[in-house]
Amino acid sequence: MSGITRRDFNRIAASAVAGSGTLAAPAIVRAQTNKLKVGVLLPRSGTQAFIGQSCQLGVDIAPALLREMYGVELDLMNVDTETNVEVARSRAEKLINDGAQVLVGPFDSGAASAIAQVAEQRRIPFIINIAAAPQITEQGYKYTFRNFPTSVDLVRNGLALFRDLFQATSTAPRTAVFMHVNDTFGLANRKAIDAILPTLSYLPFKVVETISYDPAARDLSVEVAKAKATNADFIMLVSRLNDAILLVRELVKQRWAPQGIMSPGSPGMYEAQFYKALGKYSDYCISNVPWYDPNAKLSKRVEAAFSKRFPKDKLSYHALNVGFTFEALLVAADAFKRAGSTDGTALANAIRQTNIADRMMVGGPIRFNEKGQNTENASACIQNRNQQPVVVLPKQAAQMAPVFPVPGWQGRT
pLDDT-derived band at 411, boundaries 50, 70, 90 = confident
Q: Are 376 and 306 in contact (CB under 8 A)?
A: no
Q: How far apart are CA 317 and CA 84, in angstroms?
A: 25
Q: Is 33 exposed, middle or buried, given 0-12, 13-18 or 19+ CB atoms closer than 10 A?
A: middle
Nearest one of 354, 322, 318, 319 to 335, comparing CA atoms: 354
Task: State yes or no: pLDDT of 283 exceeds 60.
Answer: yes
pLDDT at position 382: 97
Task: State yes or no: pLDDT of 27 exceeds 90.
Answer: no
This prediction's pTM: 0.87
pLDDT at position 412: 84
Q: Are 380 and 363 in contact (CB under 8 A)?
A: no
Percent of the chain with pLDDT over 70: 92
**For range 265-274, the mean pLDDT:** 96
The larger pLDDT score, comparing residue 17 to residue 282, is at: 282
pLDDT in tens, 139-161: 999 999 999 999 999 999 999 99
pLDDT at position 25: 36
- Please state the length of the chain: 413
pLDDT-derived band at 33, boundaries 50, 70, 90 = low
Report the run of H or E that residue 166 belongs to, with start and end: helix 151-168
Task: State yes or no: pLDDT of 28 exceeds 60.
Answer: no
Q: How far apart are CA 55 and CA 394, in angstroms?
A: 25
pLDDT-derived band at 163, boundaries 50, 70, 90 = very high
**For range 212-219, the mean pLDDT:** 96
Question: In Å, how far are 256, 387, 397 from 252, measured between CA atoms?
Answer: 6, 17, 32
Q: How far apart are CA 102 and CA 333, in angstroms?
A: 10
20: CB partners within 8 A, 6+ apart:
none
**For range 307-332, the mean pLDDT:** 97
Task: State yes or no: pLDDT of 77 exceeds 70.
Answer: yes
pLDDT at position 31: 39
Task: State yes or no: pLDDT of 111 exceeds 60.
Answer: yes
pLDDT-derived band at 329, boundaries 50, 70, 90 = very high
CA max distance for the chain: 104
The larger pLDDT score, comparing residue 28 to residue 342, is at: 342
**For range 5-24, the mean pLDDT:** 39
206: CB partners within 8 A, 6+ apart:
174, 175, 176
Task: State yes or no: pLDDT of 4 exceeds 70.
Answer: no
pLDDT at position 385: 97
Q: Are 290 and 149 in contact (CB under 8 A)?
A: yes
pLDDT at position 212: 98
Look over the chain and give the mean of its residue pLDDT values, rounded to a whole number.
92
Nearest one of 395, 397, 390, 384 to 296, comparing CA atoms: 397
pLDDT at position 396: 85
| DSSP string over 46-65 | STTHHHHHHHHHHHHHHHHH
Task: State yes or no: pLDDT of 80 exceeds 90.
Answer: yes
pLDDT at position 14: 40
Measured CA angle at 59 (ends 58, 64), to 5 deg: 100
pLDDT at position 22: 36
